[in-house]
Amino acid sequence: MHDIELNEDQRMIRDMARQFAQSELAPRAAEWDKSGWIDDAVVRQMGELGLLGMVVPEEWGGSYVDYVAYALAVEEIAAGCSATGAMMSIHNSVGCGPVLKFGTPEQQQAWLPDLAAGRVIGCFALTEPQAGSEAHNLRTRAVLDNGEWVINGAKQFVSNASGRSWPSSLR
Ligand SMILES: Cc1cc2nc3c(=O)[nH]c(=O)nc-3n(C[C@H](O)[C@H](O)[C@H](O)COP(=O)(O)OP(=O)(O)OC[C@H]3O[C@@H](n4cnc5c(N)ncnc54)[C@H](O)[C@@H]3O)c2cc1C
């Protein structure tokens, strides 16, 4: 196995994430685990630092450098608070990723700038009561009804899908 030689951008991002995680996350991680909620102000700060737009290119307000930089940042954030690391990785990967890859230009314009800035937090609703590993068993369907899409189905275990709505300061 060979060590990867990091470039200057990757080292800077890793060090910034490490410093932020150790000073802002680690001291409060146990408190957030108990309350089940990561402080809104900290999530906002992560948006300002570019940590929530790491797979989104600059043209959409993101901070994309490359996937090594992104992985290094997630690793450092998770070392400070594993719940925050999970929130960050789900938001960036399966939250922003599909909009970036499969969204129409209108959907990208509507969602990516807010996602990249952390004003909205992304999630991914795959699992259903009867289908987890067996994704081919999904029953949820989107049906066009008089020009409107109706989505029928039940989802569970959706990380980042809060039981309460996000405060207006994050919208
Ligand atoms: C912390 C956490 C966060 C999650 N976040 C999300 C999320 O954000 N969005 C989302 O959609 N889902 C999420 N999930 C759900 C997760 O994706 C599912 O739990 C996972 O896909 C497994 O599905 P299941 O729970 O239905 O278990 P099952 O698929 O029923 O599996 C039960 C057991 O059977 C084993 N098994 C299953 N199929 C096979 C096979 N073919 N061969 C051998 N063994 C097998 C599994 O390894 C497991 O041990 C989350 C789960 C957790 C624990």
* Closest atom of ligand 1 relative to the 134 alpha carbon: 29
* Structural domain for 14, as ranges: 8-123
In this structure, the answer to whether residues 59 and 47 fall within a common structural domain is: yes
Q: Is residue 44 part of a domain?
A: yes
Residues 6+ apart with CB under 8 A from 6: 14, 68, 72
In this structure, the answer to whether residues 66 and 110 fall within a common structural domain is: yes
Among 84, 91, 139, 157, which is best to mutate for testing ligand 1, by the most ligand atoms less than 8 A from CB? 157
pLDDT tens digits along 9-35: 999 999 999 999 999 999 999 999 999
pLDDT value of residue 73: 98
In this structure, the answer to whether residues 98 and 72 fall within a common structural domain is: yes
For residue 5, is pLDDT > 60?
A: yes
Percent of the chain with pLDDT over 70: 94
CA 110 to ligand 1 centroid distance, Å = 31
In this structure, the answer to whether residues 93 and 52 fall within a common structural domain is: yes
CA 60 to ligand 1 centroid distance, Å = 33
pLDDT tens digits along 107-145: 999 999 999 999 999 999 999 999 999 989 999 999 999
d(CA 7, CA 27): 30
pLDDT value of residue 102: 97
CA 91 to ligand 1 centroid distance, Å = 19
In this structure, the answer to whether residues 130 and 118 fall within a common structural domain is: no
In this structure, the answer to whether residues 32 and 102 fall within a common structural domain is: yes
Q: Is residue 104 part of a domain?
A: yes
pTM, full prediction: 0.89
Do residues 94 and 55 lie in contact, with contact meaning Cβ atoms separated by under 8 Å? no
Nearest to 160 by CA among 82, 62, 91, 94: 91
CA 131 to ligand 1 centroid distance, Å = 8
In this structure, the answer to whether residues 96 and 148 fall within a common structural domain is: no
In this structure, the answer to whether residues 13 and 92 fall within a common structural domain is: yes
Please give all residues whose beta carbon lies within 6 A of any atom in ligand 1, as ranges.
Answer: 90, 123-127, 132-134, 157-159
In this structure, the answer to whether residues 58 and 24 fall within a common structural domain is: yes
pLDDT bracket for residue 171 (50, 70, 90): very low
